[in-house]
Amino acid sequence: MVAAIPPRALLLLIGAGLLATGGIAALGLKQPASAPYPIPTIAASTPAPRTSTRADAASLTEAQAQAALLTETDLGAPWTATRGAATWRDALLKATTTTGECQKFMDALYSDELLGAPARAAVGLDDADTDAQLRYQIGTRRPADVDKVLAWLGTMPVQCARFTATTELGLVEDVQVVDAPLPRAGDARQGLRVSLATTTSEGDEYLLTLDVAAVRVGQDSFALTNGGLGDVPNDATQAAVQVGALRLADVRRQGRAQV
């Protein structure tokens, strides 16, 4: 059985390789280059310019997308504003495989493009006690395209139930993907739990666990990953899905009321 490894021990695995390639100066979470975006209220936002296409007319404004993001207050202690990308992302999540659609899936996880396109707005939150990290993003794609992505994600527990991947440092990982239940929030949703286990040449065992969720709420959508070393508690994922769906719906209602 793979044991949960304290984040401090990961330095033995990634130190030389990541210090050379990524310039990481701190263990676990690195300092962001800039402060997080403020989250404006709908009342203070500037209306988006009118456009001539249905897709653009249905899109959230930039201010609405920012207002729909989760905050550390939504999840409560010990969650805080992110200190930067977790070092395990490059050490364990950035990996290659030759197994079918699994590389596309791995790339989507690493790039935070689960919905198939760059996010309209995104935020990161850290669990200060465990170095787990939740990354949450508001999507930009049309509902029909989102539904296709949700259907594709739903095939991962079959197409990519178990496969091997190799990290940039040459570690071979045993990757497993299973369905994960989500609250009945929004109009369509897909949840997954992904585990990546590996053993170094010195016999040290590492386990990265990721909760994955993607949800469509009417014309809008969001996706999130909640990951960390060892077994990641699922309660933050469940709360983020519920709060995220309610907030998106509320932002839409307020927007219609102001028109």
Other beta carbons less than 10 A from residue 38's beta carbon: 6
Strand stretches in 16-171, DSSP E? 79-81, 95-96, 121-127, 133-138, 162-167
| pLDDT given at position 257 | 55
Three-state SS sequence of 2-26: CCCCCHHHHHHHHHHHHHHHCCCCC
Number of H helices, E strands in the chain: 9, 9
pLDDT at residue 22 above 90? Answer: no
| pLDDT given at position 131 | 84
For the chain, give the mean pLDDT: 80
What pLDDT, in 10s, does the model give residues 179-230? Answer: 999 999 999 999 999 999 999 999 999 999 999 999 999 999 999 999 999 7
Give the chain's largest Cα–Cα span: 63
Q: Encoding tokens for residue 149?
A: 């992505």
Q: Would you call the peptide bond into 7 cis, given omega within 30 degrees of 0 as the criterion?
A: no
Q: Encoding tokens for residue 209?
A: 């666990």
Query: CA 115, CA 190: separation in Å to the nearest integer?
Result: 11
What pLDDT, in 10s, does the model give residues 31-61? Answer: 333 223 222 222 223 333 333 333 344 688 9
Hey, what CATH class is 60-258 in? alpha beta
Q: What is the pTM of this model?
A: 0.77
Query: CA 24, CA 197: separation in Å to the nearest integer?
Result: 23
Query: CA 164, CA 173: separation in Å to the nearest integer?
Result: 5
Length of the chain: 259
Domain residue spans of the chain: 60-258
Q: Encoding tokens for residue 177?
A: 């993907």
| pLDDT given at position 42 | 25
